[in-house]
Homo-oligomer: A and B are copies of this chain.
Amino acid sequence: MNLEDVARLAKVSTATVSRVLNGVDVVRPGTRTRVMKAVAELKYHPNLHARSLAGVRSRTVGVIVSNLENPFFLDVYRALEVDCRNNGYEVLVANTDYRSEQLVASIRLMIGRRVAGLAVIVSEMESALIQELTESQIPAVFYDVGPSTPHITNIRVNYKAGVASVIEYLSGLGHSKFAFIGHHSGLGPINERYSAVRSALARLSPDAELHSIAGNDSLEGGRQAARSLLSSGYAPTAIICVNDFMAVGVLRELRECGLRVPADVSVTGFDNIGLSEFCYPPLTTVRIPRERIGRLLFSILGPGAQTAGQGGEEIVIEPDLIVRESTGPPKSGHSAGPLKPGRGAELRPA
C-alpha cells in the first residue's frame, strides 16, 4: 500500500497525492477532496522512512540519557518533548545505563537516523565519540560533560556553587562529620560533585571529616550505600547525596536502622526532583531547573539549529539551595541558632 495506490484510486498522480498530504501548493479543492477520500478509504499511512529518505529536513531530535529511571533525566526529556511536539518535531530517546558501549551504540543510531539535533545528557563520555559526532555535522548539545567543539554546545551546571551552598548551610548548622554518597565514581560530572564537596569543605570547615561511598544510581543503590556506610563504623552527622534519587534510598535505610532524620543525622540531595517533596522527611536539596534545560535544548536543537552560532557555546546553569526538613543541627553540635525553617521554604543560607 503506497502513494501510487492512493493516486490510482483518486485518479491523480503520485505528485498530487504528495502535495495534498503535505499541504503544499494550492491543489484544486475538488482534487484535494478526492485524494483525501482515497486516503481514508485505503487507510493509507505514508512510509516515514521513504519520506525521510526523499530528503526533507529531518523533524526529529534525539536525546541520550544515562538513566531514565532517575526522574531527573526523565524530567528533562519530558520538557524537551513538550517543546518538540508543539513545534511538529518528534523526539527519540535512548538510555545508556551509564555504559559507554551503550552510548556508542546510541550515538551511532542517532546519526544513522539522521536526527536534526542531538542532546547528550550523560555522565560517561568517550572523546572519540565527540570527534565522530562533530564530524557528523549534526548540531549537538552536551550536558555536563565534554569539551566545546564546533557544532556542539555545552550546558553545564555550576556544581561548585550548588555544593558550596549545601556545605555552607550544613557547617553553619554545626556539622563537621560528613559523608558523601555518590555513584560511578569514575565518571566526570559525578566526581565533579565530589571534588566540589571536598574543596568547599576545605575552605569552609578545614577540620571537618569526610568519608565517601558509592552505589548504583537507584533507590536501592542509595540504600545499599547507606548500609555500607553505617556498618563501616563511621558515624557522620550529615550525609550529602549526589542526587535526590539516591537520597530517598538513604532515608529508607536510616529509618530502618532506627536513625531519625534530621535529629540523628541530616541528609541532603541534589536536583530537586518531585519525589524530594514526597519522601519522608522532605529533602533539603539543590534545585536544577530541568524544565528550563529541556526548553533550552529545544531552542538550540530545534529550528534555530542552523542559524545559531555554530560552535562551542557554553551555557551555565545556576542552582539554588532548597531547605526542607531532612536537615538540622547535629545532635551534640554547636548549633548556629534556631535556623530550621518551615517546610517547603526555599532560601539561601545567610
Residues of A with Cβ closer than 8 Å to B? Answer: 43, 45-50, 52-53, 68-69, 71, 74, 78, 81, 90, 92-93, 95, 108-109, 111-114, 132, 135-136, 218-220, 223, 248-249, 251-252, 255-256, 274-275, 277-280, 343
Contact = CB atoms under 8 A, between A and B. Distances in A.
Given A43-B135, A252-B277, A252-B278, 10 more contacts: A43-B136, A45-B136, A48-B114, A49-B113, A68-B74, A69-B71, A92-B92, A220-B274, A279-B279, A279-B280
Q: Is chain A's interface secondary structure helix, strand, loop, or mixed overall?
A: helix
A265 to B, nearest CB: 16
Q: Identify the 10 closest CB pairs spanning chains A and B, nearest first.
A: A280-B280, A48-B112, A49-B52, A49-B49, A45-B111, A49-B53, A219-B278, A252-B278, A48-B113, A45-B112
A324 to B, nearest CB: 12
B279 A45 contact: no
Central interface residue in A45, A219, A220, A280, by most chain B CB within 10 Å = A45
As for how many copies of this chain the complex holds, the number is 2
A113 B47 CA distance: 6
A11 B92 CA distance: 36
Given A68-B78, A275-B219, A46 B112 contact: yes
Central interface residue in A52, A218, A278, A343, by most chain B CB within 10 Å = A278
